[in-house]
Structure 1
């Protein structure tokens, strides 16, 4: 589904990604974990076209989308729910969701039954259903995160990029967000997840990558990484015996 090879990315003259490679198989949940500043969000931005790579390649569905404009990558079937939610605060919840379906209204994505998908999105997030006519800016942080995820799903993506979906949320809301990640995967949507809560991310994923200082330092089955002593000590807060 997604293959990244020797990807380099920078902000100005400051290189952040130093040649990373990873694969996201179709129908799987893959997580990218690491400390703050490791380059996780930069990776997501380079994949979705928000940041133009300096080198390497991004293949999506067998097509080279490296450096392509983000709207063209979205039309190809990739949706990005970015860090920080970024909902349209002066628009209603429902209008935010319909905006997510914009490529389908313009026929750049298969239209399908938008009303049915809207109903399914609201069923997936019952809190949004209760507040669908409310302005998005009046929602709580957790509700805005739900809205950002639901909006991304409204494009009917083949691949969903989720960047820090649990950031700043109460524990009970974090649990709900990760249940939704599992529900999304069960519907056949491929997911690449960047998440600061490494334990929950690895528990939800099929495969994981560990990033440090712009490099992939470890990779493997998520369950194996979850029990790896180095990962436990560095990212799960568990001191390992010498």
Structure 2
């Protein structure tokens, strides 16, 4: 009895050939996290690709395969470990249909969520601080995309709710102050953890920051509106009469 020929194995399509295997994803993640740790401790210039590959337990060619080169790996360390960057939050709170409260709830939720990743977020903060002290070409990207863009989006939001046609120094000052409510938990995270660890101990404790920060921010906006409603001391103070020469 003749056997039927075995069915031919289908040739994989191009997308299937390019689809990363699970072990490849694991190697890439391990490489990324190892690089983040070393870059945050030693900086870009003093960290070699050979050192990163050795510590990650992968071939040095993996850096080229997954990230292109050392610069590409360094750039990925600023966005990928935490699942995104501040620029990604802009679309969440910039919708003109949102009330100010709703926009602030979204803003703080997006900014605070990475704090739930513990040591990983601390390494990311060290990396950002090191980049500020020892800037590379990455600094221009960080300044434009992850600092300037979210700030200008907050300025536009505040200007809209304060009824201003153009932003002035006061609105920019207010935007920096509101963003600072969230940023201080990153910049001073280790201090908060040392003084009052219950405030940042669990994901639930991180979420509990959102409601009060929203109220603090709304109070700041109300204070700014009140300041604008009163006359400037310079214009309200009586003019001093000129003394006649004796």
Query: Which interval holds the TM-score relative to the shorter structure?
Result: under 0.3
Higher helix share: 2
* Structure of higher CA gyration radius: 2
TM-score (norm 2): 0.25
